[in-house]
Amino acid sequence: MSKAPKRVLVTGAAGQIGYAICPMIARGAMLGPDQPVILHMLDIEPAKTALEGVRMELVDASYPLLAGIVATTDAEEACKGVDVAVMVGGFPRKAGMERKDVMSKNVAIYKAQAAALEKGAAPGCKVVVVANPANTNSLILGENAPSIPKENITCLTRLDHNRALGQLSERSATHVSKVKNAIIWGNHSSTQYPDVNHATIDGKPAREVIGDDAYLDGEFVSCVQQRGAAIIKARGLSSALSAASSACDHIRDWVLGTPADGSWVSMGVYSDGSYGAPKGVIYSFPVTCKDGQWSIVQGLSIDEASATKMKATGEELVEEKALAMECLADA
Ligand code: NAD
Ligand code: LMR
């Protein structure tokens, strides 16, 4: 191992996504096949024994890239020196619950863990929040960790992005690697807007290849918006392997860069007001990444129907932010 190990925090490591993502990170799916990692796994006291079980399995799997493991229920110990923080810990949505129902439980956790990251994380630590409500949890984390640069705090909408690519791939019977430049705008919720207007399939406009605008403007959009709920219905549990894989994609592209062909991915990032999104919320945009920095793709043409949907999801984020502030004030 020639490179110095990077420390990667996974909160909620004893949970479903934790169990799926820790082996992916240990195999190099997040930081690359030549980057040793030290996994920092955090969970809460009731999950302590399960967390120890995950630690034991990671040891048993003998990963060549895994240079060490910290498994703890102490947030400060978990956050010490971390270069990447994957924030999964929290309460998942169960069948019949809306994302707002989990808000009050989860935003309080994100306020508390912001303090631990602020105190202990390595300078330049990159944070992705997965736990729902992902955009608003990441906003609360950022507001309560003022020394972490705002551009280092993001949330996961890559799963929605990948879901959109997957649907276009299935519909066109084209391998997913040839489907590019879908966009997820806004919130990781059912108001998100999966936009195919700039997407390409095998280099041609997706609308031309699919040839069915009614499908693309109707069923496709609602399928991607509702996919999380459909998985919950089918599995009785929320998505885990796809969430874990997409979180690896999110960090990998952020750290190692998006493709040289200029194709983009979707990330929830601090809104600078691009495309009329409200400022002061974490909103999903199309981004390219280079040298560890993301930048919002500018200059895309937006039709009126898209603008209306982008506005609606932005408004939901502003409402969620207000609700989160109320929850924190009541806590
Ligand atoms: P899970 O219940 O299986 O695991 C969550 C883990 O978090 C549990 O082990 C729990 O003990 C732990 N936890 C609770 N409070 C904690 C705290 N304060 N500190 C550290 N750990 C804590 O849930 P899951 O299926 O792994 O989902 C995790 C989260 O990810 C949920 O909020 C879910 O809704 C969300 N999610 C987001 C996406 C996305 O695309 N953004 C996709 C799927 C799931
Ligand atoms: C998902 O998108 O699969 C998760 O966010 C689960 C959910 O609550 O929808």
Give me the pLDDT at residue 285, please: 99
Q: Give the model's confidence band at 141: pLDDT under 50 very low, under 70 low, under 90 confident, else very high.
A: very high
Do residues 76 and 208 share a domain?
no
Q: Give the model's confidence band at 130: pLDDT under 50 very low, under 70 low, under 90 confident, else very high.
A: very high
Do residues 180 and 140 share a domain?
no
Q: How far apart are CA 155 and CA 139, in angstroms?
A: 9
Do residues 263 and 143 share a domain?
no
1 assigned to some structural domain:
no
Domain termination site, one of 110, 131, 156: 156
329 assigned to some structural domain:
no
Give me the pLDDT at residue 212, please: 98
331 assigned to some structural domain:
no
Contact indicator for 100, 133 with CB cutoff of 8 Å = yes
Tens digit of each residue's pLDDT (9 = 90 or more) over 2-14: 899 999 999 999 9
Give the total number of structural domains in the chain: 2
pLDDT at 214 over 70: yes
330 assigned to some structural domain:
no
217 assigned to some structural domain:
yes
Do residues 134 and 164 share a domain?
no
Give me the pLDDT at residue 280, please: 96
Do residues 54 and 177 share a domain?
no
Catalytic residue selected from 40, 188, 198, 250: 188
Average pLDDT over residues 130-152: 96
β-pairing verdict for 66-72 and 37-42: parallel
169 versus 132: the higher-pLDDT residue is 169
Give me the pLDDT at residue 134, please: 95
Contact indicator for 12, 131 with CB cutoff of 8 Å = yes
Q: What percent of the chain has pLDDT over 90?
A: 90
Q: What is the CA 100 to chain-centroid distance, rounded?
A: 18
124 assigned to some structural domain:
yes
327 assigned to some structural domain:
no
Do residues 141 and 191 share a domain?
no
CATH number of the domain enclosing 133: 3.40.50.720
User: How many CB atoms within 10 Å of residue 98?
Assistant: 12
Contact indicator for 90, 132 with CB cutoff of 8 Å = yes
CATH number of the domain enclosing 285: 3.90.110.10
Instruction: List the 293-296 sheet strands across, edge first.
Output: 66-72, 37-42, 6-11, 84-87, 126-129, 153-155, 265-270, 282-290, 293-296
Domain termination site, one of 121, 156, 191: 156
Ligand nearest to the CA of 267: 1
Q: How far apart are CA 308 and CA 61, in angstroms?
A: 49
190 versus 98: the higher-pLDDT residue is 190
Give me the pLDDT at residue 264, please: 98
Q: Is 106 annotated as a binding residue?
A: yes
325 assigned to some structural domain:
no
Global pTM reads 0.97
Do residues 54 and 163 share a domain?
no
- Whether 229 is in the pocket of ligand 2, judged by its Cβ within 6 Å, is yes
Contact indicator for 90, 102 with CB cutoff of 8 Å = yes
Do residues 110 and 150 share a domain?
yes
Tens digit of each residue's pLDDT (9 = 90 or more) over 283-330: 999 999 999 999 999 999 999 999 999 999 999 999 999 999 988 887
- Give the residue whose CA is nearest to atom 31 of ligand 1: 92
Average pLDDT over residues 32-58: 98
Q: How far apart are the CA of 26 and the centre of ligand 2, in A?
A: 24
Domain termination site, one of 156, 178, 194: 156
Domain that holds residue 204: 158-319
- Give the residue whose CA is nearest to atom 42 of ligand 1: 243
Q: In the numeric block, which tokens belong to residue 183?
A: 């966009």
Do residues 62 and 168 share a domain?
no
Phi, psi at residue 289, to the nearest 5°?
A: -130, 140
Give me the pLDDT at residue 292, please: 98
Across all residues in the chain, what is the average pLDDT?
A: 96
Do residues 204 and 313 share a domain?
yes
Do residues 53 and 112 share a domain?
yes
Do residues 171 and 292 share a domain?
yes
Q: Does the active-site annotation cover 161?
A: no
pLDDT at 1 over 70: no
Burial environment of residue 331 by CB neighbours within 10 A (0 to 12, 13 to 18, 19 or more): exposed
- Whether 78 is in the pocket of ligand 1, judged by its Cβ within 6 Å, is no
